[in-house]
Amino acid sequence: MRKTLLASVAALAVVPALAACTENASSGGDDEGGDARALSVTSNADTCELSSTEAPAGTLSFDVTNSGSDVTEFYLLGSDGLRIVGEVENIGPNLTKKLTVNAPEGEYFTACKPGMVGEGIRAAFTVTHAEDAQEVSASDQELIDQAQDNYRAYVQDQSAQLLAKTRDFTELYKAGNADDQARALYPVAREHWERIETVAESFGDLDPKTDAREADVDVAAGEEWTGWHRIEKDLWPQDAKGYAALTPAERTSYADDLLANTEELDQRIQATGEDALEYSITDIANGSIGLLEEVANGKITGEEEAWSHTDLWDFQANVDGARVAYEGVQGLLETKDAALAEELTSTFAALQAVLDQYRDGDGFVLYTALTKDDTKKMTDAVNALSEPLSKLTAAVTS
């Protein structure tokens, strides 16, 4: 009887081990497919460096080396940033441990956790389609789930970055002696807002407080103008007639208000459980359409950034957001209307090519530098895209 007990304990340990064995990815250099799936990670106190941020689907191996002085961990997380696809713990200083995982095509996050606490140092990781990967059967429902997961992760990631940069921006602005730095960060921080503008705008209480333009505020009716564009005017007062600069106390009050509203926005976007935002396939497709409309209505006209003239940053960010939302449902669209998918992919590329002509360093030329011909070219490219894009929702939900 005792022997039976022993045997069952042993079986308990061995059976799952055998059932769950997985190929150790090839470490030999002669097989190219194997190479692309063998990645290395270097982790120390402040960095988490990967040899590549993408790999083909299949059995991936991560050689995680700890070059820091504290114990570290490495995680591969699902697109929601929560589900653990694989992890290696207890990597002591000077050690290399291997993580082997089976990863189907999709978006992931990698995270190093020096000291084994907190969220870790995260980065996006993409597993690309591979012909030789194990077949991952993807039904429509799986494509839909994947699109929703990916889109949620994207919105949450952008929101977190928006919050971090808004925090930096408001600090610089409040300091009073760092206006140049604040002006440099302004369009960069707002990119994250513009990429998820359709989601951010859906909060009717927060949007007017953070993103209202002066022209939209009815001061006579007792409305107060706050948010990004209020601060924008104070940082770029040269076009304003007889403008009186804000006092340090007013600066602090507007900056704190903007940060508080951004924190609230981020909190709602990051919410989990019952309060979690739902993004249906319709929402995602409509979001793509909506973001392109934003371009046509505000950015191409130069109305959005009336004082800073950094409209092209917003333009690019709106297009980014529209493209990411489209790409989220692209797999689904390909199974329903392959021709439309092809047309959308090429018109997105064409619009990007037009926009790329106006790059200047890390950013873009100011809107005031554009000629009528320039804006005409942009309008044409936007119109060329908006026509097929308007069919997207109907096509993916059919």
Partner 1 sequence: MLANFLIGLREGLEAALVVSILVAYLVKSGRRELLPRIWAGVALAVAVALVFGATLTFGPRGLTFEAQEAIGGTLSLVAVAFVTWMIFWMSAAARGLGTELRGQIDRAAEGGRWSLVVVAMLAVGREGLETALFLWAATQAGTRDTAGSVTPTWEPLLGALLGIVVAVALGYLIYRGAIRLNLTVFFTWTGAFLIVVAGGVLAYGIHDLQEAGILPGLHDLAFDVSEVIPPSSWYGTLLKGVFNFSPATTKLEALAWVLYVVPVGVLFLLRNRIVRPTPQPQEH
CB of 105 to partner 1, least distance (A): 18
CB of 148 to partner 1, least distance (A): 19
User: Binding to partner 1 (CB under 8 A): which residues in 44-63?
Assistant: 61
Out of 38, 39, 60, 85, name the contact with partner 1 by CB under 8 A.
85
If binding is defined by CB under 8 A, does position 22 make contact with partner 1? Answer: yes
CA distance 392 to 284: 10
User: Binding to partner 1 (CB under 8 A): which residues in 344-383?
Assistant: none
70: three-class secondary structure by DSSP = coil
CB of 42 to partner 1, least distance (A): 5
Host H or E run for residue 306: none
CA distance 272 to 276: 4
Out of 17, 220, 221, 249, name the contact with partner 1 by CB under 8 A.
17
List the beta bridge partners of residue 242.
Answer: none
- DSSP β-ladder status, 58-66 and 38-43: parallel
47 versus 383: smaller Cβ distance to partner 1: 47
Site size with partner 1, rule: CB under 8 A: 49
CA distance 171 to 291: 29
Out of 31, 89, 180, 356, name the contact with partner 1 by CB under 8 A.
89
Out of 11, 45, 84, 215, name the contact with partner 1 by CB under 8 A.
84
Query: Stretches 97-105, 192-200, 333-341, 349-357: which one binds partner 1 (CB under 8 A)?
Result: 97-105
Residues in contact with partner 1, shown as a per-residue x/- string from 264 to 283 under the rule CB under 8 A? --------x-----------
Out of 95, 240, 245, 353, name the contact with partner 1 by CB under 8 A.
95
Out of 57, 99, 319, 366, name the contact with partner 1 by CB under 8 A.
99
Out of 42, 253, 270, 330, name the contact with partner 1 by CB under 8 A.
42
CA 39 to chain centre: 23
Task: Give which of 337, 375, 384 is closest to 357, Cα–Cα.
Answer: 375
Out of 38, 101, 265, 300, name the contact with partner 1 by CB under 8 A.
101
CA 31 to chain centre: 33
Nearest 5°: the CA angle 365, 350, 148 is 100
CB 87 within 8 A of CB 74: yes
CB 377 within 8 A of CB 277: no
Give the list of residues 6+ apart from residue 49 with CB closer than 8 angstroms, or none.
41, 42, 43
CA distance 197 to 294: 9
- DSSP β-ladder status, 72-77 and 121-128: unpaired
Query: Stretches 89-97, 123-131, 164-172, 283-291: which one binds partner 1 (CB under 8 A)?
Result: 89-97
Out of 34, 35, 98, 217, name the contact with partner 1 by CB under 8 A.
98
| Amino acid letter for position 321 | G
53 versus 383: smaller Cβ distance to partner 1: 53
116 versus 369: smaller Cβ distance to partner 1: 116
If binding is defined by CB under 8 A, does position 86 make contact with partner 1? Answer: yes
DSSP category for residue 339: H
CB of 33 to partner 1, least distance (A): 16
17 versus 244: smaller Cβ distance to partner 1: 17
User: Binding to partner 1 (CB under 8 A): which residues in 111-140?
Assistant: 115-118
Give the list of residues 6+ apart from residue 58 with CB closer than 8 angstroms, or none.
33, 37, 102, 103, 130, 132, 133, 134
Interface residue list for partner 1 (CB under 8 A): 2-3, 5-6, 9, 12-13, 16-17, 19-24, 40, 42, 61, 65-67, 69-71, 82-87, 89-102, 115-118, 272
